[in-house]
Structure 1
Amino acid sequence: MNITMIPYQIRATLLQLEPSTDLNWERVLYQIFDEANMEVREEIDRQILKPKEIQWNRTENTFEFKITNSLESLKHRLDNERMRSIANKLSNSLHWLEQITDCVQIADYLENTLHQIDLIPVDDHLGLQREKLLIRRVFLQDVAKLVRHLNMRIYPNVRDLTIKQIKCFIVEVFIKQQLLGYWFKPILTKSSTLFNHPFFKYFIVSEQKIRKFDIVKTSEFIYLIAPIQHFEQNPYSIRRFLFEEHIEYNNQIYLTGLVIDPKQIGENAYRLQTDQLVQKMVTIQHQVHRDVIEIVQEFESFTETKLLPFLMQPFGMGGKNSDFVAQNHVKTIEQMLIANLLMPLRNAVKNDLSHLEEFEYLFMSVHRIFSEILSHYRDFKEQPALFFNAHVQIFEYRLLAYLKLLEKRKDEIFVPMSKQEWQVMHERSQQPLKKLQEIMSDQVKDYNELKLYIQQLKHEQNQVNGSLLKKIVKGGKVEKDIQQAKHAAMIIKKQTYLDVLSVPKGLSKYSVFIEFESITSLSELERHYAFPSGDNGIIRFPFLMKIPENLADFDFEAFHASIYLD
């Protein structure tokens, strides 16, 4: 049977499409559908459009998108009373936003409100987390729709920003990035026809190599976003984009973002003005040894020339067992990353760097590279041959967790250390897994003895049931012993379950709760926790622990076996 494949670049483009933010989403679809045959169109509709709630009319070849949720409806539909109250307050706040004209106030409102939503406590409750993520997404969609129609005013600025450009940035850069999170992907220079224009090819690209700015393409404009100094900052912050830093003593202005209008790049005066503004963009200056720069360049080269092309290859089964082929493919990806990124990264931080600025430069570079890998891995795993494949999904969790743990443990990895200090940090990183193994070691002997005892009692019960006299004399006692043993086993199982869940809570710096630390709503039936693995948590991808949400589904023996497998 022939499987219709959606070409990688088309899939990548469509996965970045957000009809709630992108003004040109229909135009993008028309361009793709005009060149695609009916089989590819059908696959696009099934795999991508339907999950995005885009309706395709085959007869008319038209598209329709309707947002089915709003804060106004959520305040009545959510299960939890507190969440309904939060949705109601947010809905009321939008009425206030409608009256605001100051773009800085709008930025403050939006960024502060999002921060407050992210701080809503849900006490590790997966159902509440799902509702919290839904509130967050619907809030962003409501704001995106509202911003387009706000009567906004702007302060004088050296970039001559227009209201249209600011609205586009708020909706198609900031809000879209908040919706997609790590999966938000700025355009790649080599994959865009835009860079065939000499101005981009010979000026913007060369400046990007020096200044390391992101290039983000929206429906109407191109945004150049300066790099951040600390990973906790959001490079796509609205306030950051609006701000222009004036240094009076040398009459300088520094910019963190620029807008390029593709319709005007044919004009000499416009190109000259853009050139002058690019020179005012903030750059992060690092006093870094050439060896460290070369390490980063090797990471970038591996990612761009080997890993990403490998991910872009169509994934075919060739008549083999699909699960086996997918598992081996993921193992190959993992081995490539370990050999070319993880091992060299450990060697660099352990042996090659000398001062904090070099560590900071390496961390920021690795963070950027892994964020890019994550966004491309998402495109890879959306191939039909990999749908619902556990190996493929689990490795994405481990990729995400590796990046999260680098963030959490930055002060224990990306700093100068002696051999003794390194060993201390390594031992700290192994605490969660050791604690889990200790918990299971303490309980497994008693649990196994009880299971064996129950089996013996059941065997004795079968013998009793075969004899009327034994049944009269011993039947009730055997049944009572079985129930008592089962109760004792359940107590061990329950205590183990609670002790296991306490590990990531008590060692939050060394753990990632996947369902809570990504903006993707996952299953409510199970939890995934990740812990550092390998030398100081660097040379291996994190150990992933899966545990059911309900105690009744907790398999003691299977869990015990799993914590010794990586």
Structure 2
Amino acid sequence: MQTYIPYQLRVKLKQIDPILDNKWQQQLNAILSATPKELHEKIEERYLKLKNIHWNYLTATFEFHGYIRLQDIPQYTQHPELLQLAKNVQSSFDYLETYQTDFQIADFLETVIHEMNQIELHEPQDIQAQLLLKKAFLYDAALIIRDLDFSVTTNHRNLDQAQIRSFIFEVFMKSEILGNWFAYILPSEYAQQKPSIFQDYFVHELHVRDFEIIDATDYYFIVSSSYDSRVSAYSIRRFLTEENFGVENKFYISGLVLDPKKLDQIDYIENFKQQMTQIIGIQRQMNPHIVELIESLHLYKQEQLLPQMKKVVDIQGFSTDYLVKEHLDCLEKDLCLQVLEPFARGLKQSVQQSDELEFCYLNLKRLMTELLHQFEALSQEPMLQFNPYARGFKYRLIAYLHLLVQRRAQVFVLFEDEYHYQQHLNAVIAPVQKIREHVNAAIEQSRHIQQQIRSLEREIQTNEKAGFFKRLLKKSENNQVKIEKLKKSLIDIQDRCYIGIISIQKQATQQSVYLEAKNLISRIDPKIRHYAFANGENGITRLPLLLQLPEDRHSFNMQNIALALNQEFVLTAKPWSQ
């Protein structure tokens, strides 16, 4: 009997949204009808109730019992900046109700979301409140936009109001609410899609264009990747915009709508394919060495890495934790040696033009995404579900992808000379090196103070053995005061070390990521926060270094952090083969 909810099912359940999906009940019924009944109660407890979805036994239907509105936010946080923003946004809804065009709505939503995302928070309760504030705003706005009769800007794609509203709700808003859980159809899933256009057309287009396909309620949205890390690929304004170059029918777009109800119309499909060419893709002939390299890496992933990854669930033995760690270490070694290091060499030595950089970027991103999703699917197996090594490996894959996008401009550049390349390498290793030196210095300070404490304690013991008059002369009570002061100094050093690590990470946001703050992982353990730092040559030949810090700084152990950093330093400094 199946007792856990598979990853693919969890993804589908995450997408269900009674505010943003106009057919959420049908979607939910379809999901449950294809799911073993023994999982239904667990699904209701873990997913549906959190969305305030409940089963009505009288009507035999699912019902939605409301959501937390913007006006309710003061009940959930006392953070002054969040409260002030909630108040300001609440008053701005009067403007939203008067907007009459698609671009006005887009600008309103994206401006507010930008303001919310700009607030940098580090306390777990504040981060959760920030996410709650964003969700409340988007839901309140969605209810207003649902009834707005706005005009659609003239466009070559014949976008209509229903399509734009669907994009706003099911792409932009959902991506902001779900973060890393927002789903699109993976290239590896194209073969399983019912419409033949996935197999006959989209598979080929992936070789020349970087795009994602989002399966919305009534449409497929084809969205190209954003070249600017500051602009979301799911931006409404970006989707609406058509870059016109003053020539008739010469324009570029970042997204298209595919209506599944029209797939049997030849003219519609031909027009759609013609418009796909307006999504910027690879224009020039690729260096055959690069093409061969990328194809070989995908082949290795498919024939070696994925089968090896799946074998982790077949591990048997008494020391399961150790065996899982050993297996994942071997998997990581193969990934680095056979995929990431050859990729880095090809990027440095063979790439000669910007289109090849784009080709390399989209393929590495695609390859690592496939690995992550496969491991996500495996991670719910009982053996891996609570395994700390498996969880850490998954977090590092997530961080690698995030940092790949975040550092795109630093990684995917044409090689100039060794000097400039070395500057990129130094920028990657600098944050971890600073933290390592910072922690080691704090440990050395602590060691020196501990020696003083032991020396004073020995003096006290010696005095206690001495005669009465000697004890008076030695003034051992003064030594006790000194010891207390030194112990307080130890706590201060530990606190400064903890704060210093966080400060260094804040200064290195290009080379690192605080996973919980970016909503990249669920807060499974509220007592731990996870930081990931780019690792390896230019941050691409190794999976990131994962640093775990306790929320309570009094639980912070400098020696454990130093051990992890020093081990990673040694491992990174030598080739895998040694």
- TM-score by structure 2 length? 0.84
**Residue type of the partner of 2:240?**
L
Deviations 1:247-300 (A, max 9, x none): 443543444322222223233444444344445444342453122233333344
Q: Tell me, yes or no, if the aligned pair for 2:2 and 2:39 is still in contact at 8 Å.
A: no
Q: Deviations over 1:180-224 (max 9, x none)?
A: 334433213553687444455434544454444322211111122
Q: CA deviation at 1:347?
A: 1.6
- CA distance in 2: counterparts of 1:149 and 1:309, whole angstroms: 50
Structure 1 gaps, min length 5? none
Q: In structure 2, what is the Cα distance between the partners aligned to 1:183 and 1:321?
A: 32
Instruction: Report what 1:510 is aligned to.
Output: 511
Contact 1:405 1:511 in 2 (8 A): yes
* Structure 2 match to 1:262: 260
SS of alignment partner, residue 179 of structure 1: helix
Shift of 1:440: 3.3
Q: Provide closer, same or farther for how the CA distance between residues 468 and 120 of structure 1 changes in structure 2, counting only shifts above 3 A.
A: same
**Counterpart Cα distance in 2 of 1:188 and 1:248:** 36
Q: Could you say if the C-alpha distance between residues 506 and 527 of structure 1 is closer, same or farther in structure 2, counting changes exceeding 3 Å? A: same
Tell me what 1:68 maps to. 67
Partner of 1:548: 550
Residue 291 (structure 1) aligns with: 289
- Residues 277-356 of structure 1 correspond to what in structure 2 (within 5 A)? 277-303=275-301, 307=305, 315=313, 320=318, 323-324=321-322, 326-328=324-326, 330-356=328-354
Cross-structure match for 1:97: 96
CA shift digits 1:307-343 (9 cap, x unpaired): 5676678947767555445534543543343234321
Q: Distance in 2 between matches of 1:299 and 1:61?
A: 51
Contact 2:282/2:355 (CA < 8 Å) preserved in 1? no
For residue 238 of structure 1, what is the aligned residue in structure 2? 236
Asked if the contact 2:55/2:63 (under 8 Å) is kept, the reply is yes
103-112 vs 524-533, greater mean Cα deviation: 524-533
* Residue type at the aligned position of 1:297: E
Shift of 1:39: 1.6
Distance (whole Å) between structure 1 residues aligned to residue 502 and residue 86 of structure 2: 30
Cα distance change, pair 248–359 in 1 and its aligned pair in 2 (3 A) = closer
- Cross-structure match for 2:575: none
> Is contact 1:465–1:471 with CA below 8 Å preserved after alignment?
no
SS of 1:430's equivalent in the other structure is: helix
Following superposition, the deviation at residue 102 of structure 1 comes to 0.9
- Find the counterpart in structure 2 of residue 536 from structure 1: 538
Alignment RMSD: 3.7
Check the 8 A contact 2:239/2:255 in 1, yes or no.
yes
Where in structure 2 are there 5+ consecutive unaligned residues? Answer: 569-578
2:576 maps to none
Distance, in Å, in 1 between the alignment partners of 2:371 and 2:165 is 29
Deviations 1:340-387 (A, max 9, x none): 432122222232223444334323432344455445544444555544
Query: Which residue is equivalent to 1:441?
Result: 440
Identity of aligned pairs, percent? 28
Structure 2 Cα separation of the partners of residues 344 and 67 of structure 1:
52
1:106-145 equivalences under 5 Å are: 106-122=105-121, 124-145=122-143
Question: Letter of the aligned partner of 2:506 in structure 1?
Answer: K
**Which residue number in structure 1 is paired with residue 174 of structure 2?**
176
Deviates more, 1:536-545 or 1:457-466: 457-466
Structure 1 residue 433: deviation in Å? 2.5
Please state how far the C-alpha of 1:170 moved relative to its aligned partner: 1.0
In structure 2, do the counterparts of structure 1 residues 181 and 472 end up closer, same or farther at CA, with 3 Å as the change threshold? same
Whole-Å separation in 1 of the counterparts to 2:165 and 2:308:
37
Structure 2 CA distance for aligned equivalents of residues 351 and 340 of structure 1? 17
Displacement, 1:399?
Answer: 2.5
Match for 1:479: what amino acid? Q
Give the AA of the match of 2:535: S
Provide the rounded CA distance (Å) in 1 between the counterparts of 2:284 and 2:207: 14
Code of the residue aligned with 2:214 in structure 1: it is V
Larger displacement relative to structure 2 (531-540 or 217-226): 531-540
CA distance in 2, matches of 1:533, 1:198: 41
Q: Deviations over 1:80-129 (max 9, x none)?
A: 2331121111122223212322111111111222112212244x455433
Structure 1 CA distance, aligned partners of 2:24 and 2:313? 27
Tell me by how many angstroms 1:167 deviates: 0.8
Q: SS at 1:509's partner residue? A: coil
> Which stretch shifts more, 388-397 or 107-116?
388-397
Contact 1:229 1:284 (8 Å CA) reproduced: no
> Using a 3 Å threshold, how does the CA distance of structure 1 residues 99 and 446 change in structure 2: closer, same or farther?
closer
Q: Distance in 2 between matches of 1:428 and 1:99?
A: 48
Q: Cα gap change, 1:564/1:362 in structure 2, threshold over 3 Å: closer, same or farther?
A: same
The secondary structure found in structure 2 opposite 1:529 is strand
What is residue 23 of structure 1 aligned with on the other side?
Answer: 22
Structure 1 pair 440/161, CA: closer, same or farther in 2 (3 Å)? Answer: closer
Helix, strand or coil: the match of 1:31?
Answer: helix
Give the Cα separation in 2 of the matches to 1:141 and 1:11: 22
Quick one: distance in 1 between partners of 2:31 and 2:327? 29
- Residue type at the aligned position of 1:38: K
Specify the code of the residue in structure 2 equivalent to 1:186: Y
Distance 1:176 1:380, change over 3 A: farther
Inter-CA distance 61–44: structure 2 relative to 1 (3 Å threshold): farther
Counterpart amino acid of residue 184 in structure 1: F
Structure 2 residue matching 1:565: 3-state secondary structure: helix
Distance change (3 Å), C-alpha of 1:36 and 1:76:
closer
**Which residue identity does 1:428 align to in structure 2?**
A
Q: 1:232 to 1:13 in 2, by over 3 A?
A: same
1:171 Cα deviation after fit: 0.7
SS in 2 for 1:516: coil
Amino acid at match of 1:28: Q
Change (3 A) 1:283 1:543: closer
Work out whether 1:564 is the aligned partner of 2:566: yes
| Superposed displacement of residue 455, structure 1 | 4.9
Shift of 1:172: 0.7
Amino acid at match of 1:552: H
- Residue type of the alignment partner of 2:493: I
The answer as to 2:185 corresponding to 1:162 is no
Count of residues in Structure 1 that have an aligned counterpart in Structure 2:
564
Structure 2 CA distance, aligned partners of 1:519 and 1:427? 26
Paired amino acid for 1:202: D
- Letter in structure 2 aligned against 1:159: R
Return closer, same or farther for 1:278/1:295 CA change in 2, 3 Å cut-off: same
Equivalent residue, structure 1, for 2:571: none
Q: 2:130, 2:253 → 1: CA distance?
A: 35
Structure 1 residue 174 displacement after superposition: 1.6
Is 1:217 the counterpart of 2:243? The answer is no
Aligned to 1:501: 502
Contact 2:69 2:140 in 1 (8 A): yes
Could you say if the C-alpha distance between residues 452 and 419 of structure 1 is closer, same or farther in structure 2, counting changes exceeding 3 Å?
same
| Worse overlay, 420-429 or 538-547 | 420-429
